[in-house]
Structure 1
Amino acid sequence: MSKLSNRLMKTSPIVISLVSFVLAILVSCVIMLLCGYDPIFAYSVIIEGSLGSVRSLTNTLIQATPLIFTGLAFMVGKKATLINLGVEGQMYTGAMVAALVGMTPLPLPGILHLFLALVCGVIGGGLAGALIGFLKVRFGSNEVITTTMTNFIIINFCDYLVNYPLKAEGAVAQTNKIVDGALLGKMIPGYQLTWAIVIAVLAALIVKFVLEKTRFGYEVRAVGLNMKAAETAGIKVGGVMMKAMLFSGALAGLCGAVHVTSVGKRFISGFSPGYGFSGISVAALASDSPLGIILAGIIFGALKTGAMYLNMMSQIPTEFVSVIQALVVIFVSAPLLIRALIGADRKPKKGGRSHAE
């Protein structure tokens, strides 16, 4: 193996993520130039719009909150070799269940009503994720297909509910408002930022603890590293996959529950601009690190907030932010492909025995 190959194999995932992000920015600049736009002006406006004031910063954190949750949800599934593309649908499930509980008057103190709404949202999302895990383990279903299809089913069913049986008065397809006692309070008076960002950070810390310090986390990592070896060691791979999908769905459900009890204040049809799929980019940039997902979520949150400001200040399309997200995933994946090719090209050392012998 050449020196270059050795260096590539030893490259830190953090370095890969940083280089990938820089390359994504550079390539997007080239695309802007080719389209006749000034990239320096565009990024200066994005930075000003996302970090230039207290209000801009709070808006960035608001945008980052769901991305942290969905990044965590996707990452947990991926750790167990499962590609959970159903985060969006599981988030919708959690949001709808939490909204139903939150808008129902209950003889409970406000904090308990809020807690119950969040817990029910977690359970709803978790069950939606566990269903995918069950289909995978019991029938060998491809989780990419089942999660994609369940997204359509769940999202359209939620749209039906808010357009017909649960529709509040007015032209907008939405539920009634969640009662005030079941809403998350604001962190800073006069700003829209709520305690949702704190819950997101706590969720990341809990995920880190679970994956690194518990038996379940050890089993998930073992299955992710080598499924056959894990099975040989006595780990029930099917059970681990089921639990991982339950955990992943629960995080997505918590995302939806937190959204409707904070900025949403009710379930609104189409409330998500694709948070579930943006979580894939967040997890990729963070190299599947729970703490890295916090930073990656804030970075993408800043890009989204800055893009809205860019739309007001210029004629540059906000879709360039989506281009950056896609480029990040492409560049993060490229070194993994190189490593796979290098690994597949390895030859046994001289004097070694082949498995066939």
Structure 2
Amino acid sequence: MTSNKAFNILIPLISVFLGLVAGAIIMLIFGYNPIHGYAALWEGAFGDLYVFGETVRQVTPYILTGLAVAFAFRAGLFNIGAEGQVIIGWLAAVWIGTSFEAPMIIHLPLAIIVAALAGAIWGFIPGLLKARLGVHEVIVTIMLNYVALYSANSIVRNVLSDNEDKTEKVAASASLASEWLQGLTYFSRMHYGILIALFAAVIMWFIIERTAVGFELRSVGFNKHASKYSGMNVPKNIILAMVISGIFAGLAGSMEGLGTFGNLNVKSGFTNLGFDGIAVALLGANTAFGVVLAAILFGALKVGALNMPTEAGVPTELVDIIIALIIFFVASSYIIRWFILRFKKEEK
């Protein structure tokens, strides 16, 4: 029970439980009823088909940004630039979706592929600088987030529109939206992107766990020096990890541009999808299956929080506090591990 595999399952579960308990204590301190608060959150996330559709819609980009961060983590890299890669992928998808018309069988796959390539290019830059010059990827990716944000804003105003704050809607042939899914979920914004996100999770699992490339990436993540000594091309694997990570994040952007919103607005700040992806990856223990489960939790928390002020009088900011506490407990996993081991010793 104290194996690494068991801990990888136990620690996220305990972290979620502790985060929810701490959130309940905070609600009590400030005079709110935690039972009513969490009941309202559940109703807001799964109470009817509409909010269920909205939860699935929110889960979709979280899966992909979580995969982006987790994939880089498995190679020993911290891709804090998933946010910028999301924006660039979003921009590329909308650009293709609004620039011309073609049959859906061509137009939609092309828009998604171009978004993935845009994210890959945005991931390639810090990967190359890390591999060839030793520049830390955290610094480069943080700066590229701002480059992506302000470049996208400028392109929206000056290239994709006539000094407007948003682009036109993407053509129907490039849209992931589904009248059938929207009708099924009382006209929520759920779209077919969830299938792409789940397929991407399978792809990550296959690459990491079932291919020689994945073995090399994991080896580099564990120990770069030992990997180099054994004959592996460490710089190549660093670049490859960042490129694939960027592909996942670029796909997340295309989900928003072609599915949820169908266009791109000028943004005053970040979408936070990439930053939330860091939390999703940490809670999911950087595994594909774990990321999917963590994305479901985070999506439910984000959507369900919207129901808390009206139904229970609890401010939505409390959910952000709960998420922060969950991540705190995940980051403090060595303390949880110590308590579990000590408890096991006392049992003996």
Same fold (TM over 0.5): yes
> Which ranges in structure 1 are unaligned for 5 or more consecutive residues?
1-5, 341-357
**AA of the residue aligned to 1:178:** V
Q: Is 1:128 matched up with 2:122?
A: yes
- Give the whole-Å Cα distance in 2 for the aligned partners of 1:306 and 1:181: 32
- Residue pair 2:68, 2:246 contacting (<8 A) in 1 also: yes
Q: Is 1:182 matched up with 2:174?
A: yes
Q: Secondary structure of the equivalent of 1:91?
A: helix
The match for 1:90 is 85
**AA of the residue aligned to 1:142:** H
The match for 2:30 is 35
Q: Secondary structure of the equivalent of 1:83?
A: coil
**Quick check: which has more Rg, 1 or 2?**
1
* Deviates most, 320-329 or 12-21: 320-329
Q: Secondary structure of the equivalent of 2:259?
A: coil
> Which residue, 328, 331, 335 being the options, matches 1:330?
328
- Give the whole-Å Cα distance in 1 for the aligned partners of 2:76 and 2:11: 21
- Give the whole-Å Cα distance in 1 for the aligned partners of 2:168 and 2:181: 26
The within-5 A match list for 1:31-180 is 31-106=26-101, 108-167=102-161, 173-180=165-172
**AA of the residue aligned to 1:285:** L
Q: CA deviation at 1:295?
A: 1.3
Q: Is 1:260 matched up with 2:257?
A: yes
Q: CA deviation at 1:10?
A: 7.7
**AA of the residue aligned to 1:199:** I
The 1:34/1:167 distance shift into structure 2, 3 A limit, reads farther
Q: CA deviation at 1:164?
A: 3.6
Q: TM-score, normalised by structure 1?
A: 0.88
The 1:296/1:100 distance shift into structure 2, 3 A limit, reads same
Q: TM-score, normalised by structure 2?
A: 0.90
Q: CA deviation at 1:163?
A: 3.2
The match for 2:298 is 300
> Which ranges in structure 2 are unaligned for 5 or more consecutive residues?
339-348
- Residue pair 1:168, 1:176 contacting (<8 A) in 2 also: no
- Give the whole-Å Cα distance in 2 for the aligned partners of 1:219 and 1:9: 20
- Give the whole-Å Cα distance in 2 for the aligned partners of 1:76 and 1:222: 13
- Give the whole-Å Cα distance in 1 for the aligned partners of 2:303 and 2:261: 17
- Give the whole-Å Cα distance in 2 for the aligned partners of 1:304 and 1:327: 15
- Residue pair 1:8, 1:339 contacting (<8 A) in 2 also: no
- Residue pair 1:68, 1:297 contacting (<8 A) in 2 also: yes
Q: Secondary structure of the equivalent of 1:269?
A: coil
1:128-178 Cα distance to aligned partner (Å, 9 max, x none): 0010101111111111111111101111111222234333686xx211111
- Residue pair 2:7, 2:337 contacting (<8 A) in 1 also: no
Q: CA deviation at 1:98?
A: 1.0
Provide the alpha-carbon RMSD of the alignment. Answer: 2.0
The match for 1:217 is 214
- Residue pair 1:78, 1:84 contacting (<8 A) in 2 also: yes
- Residue pair 1:90, 1:128 contacting (<8 A) in 2 also: yes
The 1:162/1:314 distance shift into structure 2, 3 A limit, reads farther
The 1:189/1:274 distance shift into structure 2, 3 A limit, reads closer
- Residue pair 1:168, 1:175 contacting (<8 A) in 2 also: no
1:295-314 Cα distance to aligned partner (Å, 9 max, x none): 11111111111011223334
* Deviates most, 185-194 or 149-158: 185-194
Q: CA deviation at 1:213?
A: 1.1
- Give the whole-Å Cα distance in 2 for the aligned partners of 1:7 and 1:267: 48
Q: Secondary structure of the equivalent of 2:122?
A: helix
- Larger helix fraction of residues: 2
* Seq. identity, %: 35
> Which residue, 229, 232, 238 being the options, matches 1:232?
229
Q: Secondary structure of the equivalent of 1:321?
A: helix
Q: CA deviation at 1:339?
A: 7.0
The aligned length equals 332
Q: Secondary structure of the equivalent of 1:199?
A: helix
> Which residue, 9, 13, 18 being the options, matches 1:14?
9
- Give the whole-Å Cα distance in 2 for the aligned partners of 1:147 and 1:337: 30
